[in-house]
Chains A and B, each alone.
Chain A
Amino acid sequence: EAEVAQSPRYKITEKSQAVAFWCDPISGHATLYWYRQILGQGPELLVQFQDESVVDDSQLPKDRFSAERLKGVDSTLKIQPAELGDSAMYLCASTQGTSGANTQYFGPGTRLTVL
């Protein structure tokens, strides 16, 4: 069964350093989402892509976060500089079709710890 791939699974960094996370959605899935999930809370949408275009990045802290999906396939989320409050799980999800289907498939996530 096809899965959403993410790497790394775990990342420990010091504050003020730069970090990057990678996501490869299920083949053929046009819509890709990045979420941040703080322990004990629900996932919070950071950015949504439709193919290579950003559909919604209203919740993305653009002073330090950036995301790209240059060829409309895999995607990278970057934080520079990292802050203590960025410690969280970063989840990538994808859905089939261009209109945003009902089922999101999540990757295993990247757990970020900022020291």
Chain B
Amino acid sequence: GQSLEQPSEVTAVEGAIVQINCTYQTSGFYGLSWYQQHDGGAPTFLSYNALDGLEETGRFSSFLSRSDSYGYLLLQELQMKDSASYFCAVRSLGQNFVFGPGTRLSALP
């Protein structure tokens, strides 16, 4: 089977750097995605890592270590609008995606 673990909650002040970790167990691993979901909204794509290393997209970066079955999402210069739930999702051999339980990020003024 497949399983993913994320911290349930993270809190930080505006301007801070926040890291949300994700560990996974799966067979036939293809890649790791990150999605943001505001309350009442739909998930929106942030990033995808298929290879080891860091991918940067503006204030968001995502890291993957395939050997450690581990990845993280890094948010720089945290803003109030970043308060949302963040999900990692593993893309597996069957081409589908399995989502983690989500991390609720709260930005404080």
Pair B44/A106 contact, Cβ less than 8 Å: yes
CB distance from A103 to the nearest CB of B (A): 5
Interface string of A46-90 (1 = CB under 8 A from B): 001000000110000000000000000000000000000000000
Are the CB atoms of B95 and A43 closer together than 8 Å? no
Say yes or no: A91 contacts B48, CB within 8 Å.
no
Complex: A45 Cα to B89 Cα, angstroms: 11
Tell me the count of chain B residues lying within 8 A, CB to CB, of chain A: 23
Residues 94-105 of A, flagged 1 when their CB comes within 8 A of B and 0 if not, give: 000001101111
- Evaluate contact between A55 and B95: CB separation under 8 angstroms: yes
- Contact (A45, B96) CB under 8 Å given A91-B42, A109-B42: yes
Q: Which residues of A contact B43 (CB under 8 A)?
A: 43, 91, 93, 104, 106
Q: Give residues in B with beta carbon < 8 Å to A.
A: 4, 31, 33, 35, 41-45, 48, 50, 87, 89, 91, 94-102
Ranked nearest first, the 4 interchain pairs of A and B with the lowest CB-CB distance are A42-B99, A100-B95, A106-B42, A102-B48
